[in-house]
């Protein structure tokens, strides 16, 4: 077994050492680093080593078209980790084989930022269970063919972390793990160039402690930024990552990775050293745990996140989020105009096929309106601040004619830069329709919800559903009564899983049954159809109506044309093709598809009949 480790290490040794020494200039720290890697390798149990071997033999295992993700909060879904294990049959019924558990490591109650202020990377929040419970769940998921994903908060620790406590007590070697200053001279220099993350709820990038010292806190005052210029920080955080991998975690989500390297006079975002660290982490995984994937949390447009994939010769992250397409999708729904989304997809389709994105409609976080405003201004005369105000008014139901229901997060009236919260179903109008008991609006809302999920499933990459969306979960307003949560409107869509609604998932007469069964049919069609392969050709075409988007996919002799109507009106749209097509969802035949009638907020998956290409 040691020989296998040494062969894997030898394959990367020269590059790994060169990068490490170039960054840290410390031979002793590198020697400790490689010894730590071997120690972690020896601690990897047989079931995980067997999985490593299988996945090494099938390196594209995570690019299969039948992969379907779901993200959930353990407490909201099933109370604790044992509860999730008991509910695995439900997840299997949903078709889920990639499960992202939202932050669950130890963090202080009331000062956790939703679990992103970690006080111990090797302990679970007590109310959720123990590390043994997490490992048992990982084992059960592996047996069920489900890959488990967990957040790894790289940029900072909680102020309650052991390192932070020792730094506060001025123990030797621990202040150097953070950014400590005796006065405001350097912090003020940093703040000249570093953008604020939360300007309204946590302004500034530094916090003054009771004794007068100042510590860097880019996110919240209780989250202390780690100093990755210190090799011991990188060594120990890498060991923490491998500890989780050895518990059976298959996918490590590198939270806030663009922020992890700080340098005076810069914006402290996306610096070259970040990519050095990401590349080293990729090699670490290939040496110690080659079945483990790295998912980069990089919130930028696809062309700008691309560097985090690295190169074919020197890869970094295995996967990244397609966050801009998500935000542009909601913009498109509010405007009924697919022009910007078409431009967005042209950029995505132009990227190498090896780049794998996670696609989603909703997640645990807010929706930020990071759109291409220069292009919108040039082509439509749209003003950024006014447009953000329109989008937020639309999705909070303030704009005339809107049935969407959401709330704002981090509202900054001066800049018009609020973000949006709400479940997919409520933002699609299901909440308003049920409240008004309006059957017409109900049909429109259900159609909208299903169409948006069809759009997500049509994109290349791994589709990820937010838990509860499969049965149309509505906004949960009870967070307003919780003193620990009332100031964070993101809890609007982080509510308890409604098992009473899930019980209706097989009843086609209910909204829950219609959404669940419709989504399952879409997922099954995707898994069966070769046009959804990761290696398929994908492009967008002119649909003939800017309210509709035409996405085309081709694999060998098979071609699929996906049409989406983002408006609340009947639309005729299509592409310039001859020949017969079958609409997959409803099995309808078409003899040409240059002018297909789409229902309001409707879609069509049109597969060219065999022998027609």
Q: Where in the sequence numbering do the catalytic residues fall?
A: 255, 297
DSSP characters for 296-312?
E---S-HHHHGGGGB-S
Q: How many residues are there in the chain?
A: 613
Phi, psi of 171 (to 5 degrees): -70, 140
Under DSSP, the state recorded for 202 is B
Side-chain-side CA neighbours of 575 within 13 Å: the count stands at: 24
Distance in angstroms (rounded) separating the CA atoms of residues 241 and 285: 10
| Per-position DSSP letters for 118-144, written without gaps between them | -SEEEEE-GGG--HHHHHHHHHHHHHT
How many CA atoms are closer than 13 Å to the CA of 114, on its beta-carbon side? 21
Measured distance CA(470)–CA(581) in Å, rounded: 29
Closest Cα to residue 605, out of 556, 555, 550? 550
Q: Please state, in angstroms and rounded to a whole number, the distance separating the CA atoms of residues 496 and 484.
A: 15
Rounded distance between C-alpha atoms, residue 576 and residue 497, angstroms: 45
Distance CA 445, CA 450 (A): 9
Q: Which two tokens stand for residue 613?
A: 């290409």
Triad 407, 376, 601: Cα angle to 5°: 55
Distance between CA 106 and CA 108 in Å, rounded? 7
Tracing tokens 């909204």 back to the chain, one arrives at 511
């Amino acid at each position: 077994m040691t020989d296998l480790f040494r062969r894997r290490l030898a394959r990367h040794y020269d590059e790994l050492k060169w990068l490490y020494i170039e960054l840290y200039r410390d031979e002793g720290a590198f020697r400790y680093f490689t010894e730590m890697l071997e120690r972690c390798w020896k601690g990897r149990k047989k079931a995980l080593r067997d999985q490593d071997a299988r996945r090494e033999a099938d390196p594209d295992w995570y690019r299969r078209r039948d992969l379907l993700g779901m993200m959930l909060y353990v407490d909201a879904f099933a109370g604790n980790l044992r509860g999730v294990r008991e509910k695995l049959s439900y997840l299997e019924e949903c078709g889920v084989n990639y499960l992202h558990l939202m932050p669950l490591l130890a963090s202080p109650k009331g000062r956790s930022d939703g679990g992103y202020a970690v006080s111990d990377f090797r302990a679970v929040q007590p109310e959720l269970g123990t590390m043994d419970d997490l490992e048992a769940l990982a084992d059960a998921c592996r047996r069920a063919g489900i890959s488990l994903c967990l957040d790894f908060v790289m940029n900072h620790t909680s102020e309650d972390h052991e390192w932070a406590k020792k730094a506060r007590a001025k123990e030797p070697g621990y202040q150097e793990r953070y950014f400590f200053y005796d006065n405001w001279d350097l912090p003020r220099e940093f703040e000249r160039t570093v953008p604020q993350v939360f300007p309204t709820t946590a302004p500034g990038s530094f916090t003054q402690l009771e004794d007068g010292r100042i510590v860097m806190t880019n996110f919240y005052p209780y989250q202390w930024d780690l100093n990755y210029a210190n090799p011991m920080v990188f060594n120990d955080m890498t060991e923490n990552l491998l500890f989780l991998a050895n518990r059976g975690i298959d996918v490590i989500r590198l939270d806030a990775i663009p922020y992890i390297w700080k340098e005076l006079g810069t914006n402290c975002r996306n610096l070259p050293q970040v990519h050095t660290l990401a590349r080293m982490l990729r090699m670490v995984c290939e040496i110690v745990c080659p079945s483990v994937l790295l998912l980069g949390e990089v919130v930028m447009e696809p062309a700008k996140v691309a560097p985090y994939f690295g190169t074919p010769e020197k890869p970094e992250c295995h996967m990244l989020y397609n966050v801009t397409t998500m935000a542009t999708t909601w913009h498109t729904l509010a405007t009924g105009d697919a022009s910007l989304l078409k431009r967005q997809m042209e950029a995505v389709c132009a990227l190498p096929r090896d780049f794998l994105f996670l696609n989603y409609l909703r997640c645990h976080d807010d929706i930020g309106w990071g759109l291409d405003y220069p292009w919108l201004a040039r082509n439509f005369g749209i003003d950024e601040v006014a447009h953000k105000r329109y989008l937020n008014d639309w999705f909070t139901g303030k704009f005339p004619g809107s049935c969407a229901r959401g709330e704002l997060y981090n509202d900054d009236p001066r800049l018009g830069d609020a973000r949006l919260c709400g479940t997919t179903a409520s933002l699609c109008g299901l909440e308003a329709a049920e409240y008004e008991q309006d059957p017409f609006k109900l049909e429109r809302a259900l159609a909208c919800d299903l169409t948006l999920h069809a759009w997500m499933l049509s994109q290349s990459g791994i589709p990820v559903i937010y838990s509860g969306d499969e049965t149309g979960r509505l906004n949960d307003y009870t967070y307003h009564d919780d003193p620990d949560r009332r100031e964070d409107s993101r809890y609007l869509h982080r509510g308890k899983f409604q098992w009473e609604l899930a019980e209706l998932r097989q009843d086609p007469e209910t909204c829950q049954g219609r959404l669940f069964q419709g989504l399952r049919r879409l997922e099954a069609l995707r898994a069966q159809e070769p046009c959804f392969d990761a290696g398929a050709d994908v492009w967008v075409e002119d649909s003939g109506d800017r309210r509709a988007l035409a996405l085309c996919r081709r694999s060998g002799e098979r071609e699929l044309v996906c049409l989406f109507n983002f408006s609340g009106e009947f639309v005729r749209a299509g592409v310039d093709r001859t020949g017969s097509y079958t609409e997959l969802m409803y099995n309808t035949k078409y003899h040409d598809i240059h002018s297909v009638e789409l229902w309001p907020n409707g879609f069509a998956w049109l597969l060219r009949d065999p022998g027609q290409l």
